[in-house]
Amino acid sequence: MNLGFEARSARTSTSGALAGRVIAITGAGRGIGAATATALTAEGARVAIGDIDLDIAKATAERIGGDTIALPLDVTSVDSVRDFMDTVESTLGPIDVYINNAGVMPLSPLLDEDDAVIDRIFAINTRAMIHSTREAARRMLPRGKGHIVNVASTAGKAGIAGSATYSASKAAVIQYTEGAYAELHDSGLEFTVVMPGITRTELTDGVEDMPAFRAITPESVADAITAAIIKPRFEVYVPGSARPLMNVTRLLPFSVGQWIGKKMGADHVFMDALKRPERSDYEARAKGAEQ
């Protein structure tokens, strides 16, 4: 079963549409965050990269150039998040857009998953997003404008074997963002939830393409995020072709949806990755001190 879905870039050129906008991104030293920082800087934004690995963040900021700055950030610490935002605003100006991108994806059969790893997944993927969304909103509301972008995953719409906890953490991101939109959009705040498929970053080391979806690039996700900031919209799937498949699957009887999932490899693609040696380095980092 190959539906021919693959990544396509949402942007083909830059327009300077975000000139002077101050945008802060968490977990942006590498992967989707770094690609997004690059794309936003190309559009004229003044970007702050926050990452627990400051050396990586500094190297990324130097490569991007422009007004990009790199700052230390531990998203699991409320104090660190506040300090990060304070420094961004004192250095670049009031935050116009805040992107909650930091995340981890340790894989495991659910019966073997360590309690500490479960706590860590929710601390980084979910609780950090909640604290950061609240803090950013508090700063934006007095100005009557602002945009918060939360990076979730298609796994938050359809659970995949081997990533039950990760899928749950990203489902929470989707639902929280919907609730935030319902509560604060009329006060002037924009919200976007981004749902990438399998993306070629270290999070998916050892993960093979699913039959219906080729893996996408961090740049394609960055382009989609940038487009959604330039012209705000709530829900962003990457690739866009994932939207109809996800929506149709949810309308079908559960057993039919599960059959489709198995045909796509959802019952084994992540479990298989755990057997591959190239997965081991990321698993160690994801379960340890690095975001």
Residues serving a catalytic function are 166
Distance of CA 221 to the CA centre of its chain: 9
Reported in sequence order, the residue ranges of the chain that DSSP labels E, i.e. its strands, are: 22-26, 46-51, 69-72, 97-100, 146-151, 189-196, 235-238
Distance of CA 109 to the CA centre of its chain: 23
CB-CB neighbours of 268 under 10 Å? 13
Rg over alpha carbons for the chain, rounded to the nearest Å, is 18
Contacts of 195 (CB under 8 A, 6+ apart): 152, 153, 154, 156, 157, 174, 235, 236, 237, 238, 242
Distance CA 134, CA 140 (A): 10
Phi, psi of 198 (to 5 degrees): -60, 120
**N- to C-terminal Cα separation, the chain:** 35
Return the SS3 of 150. strand
Contact, 270 vs 106, CB < 8 A?
no
Tell me the HSE value of 156 on the side-chain side, using a 13 A CA sphere. 23
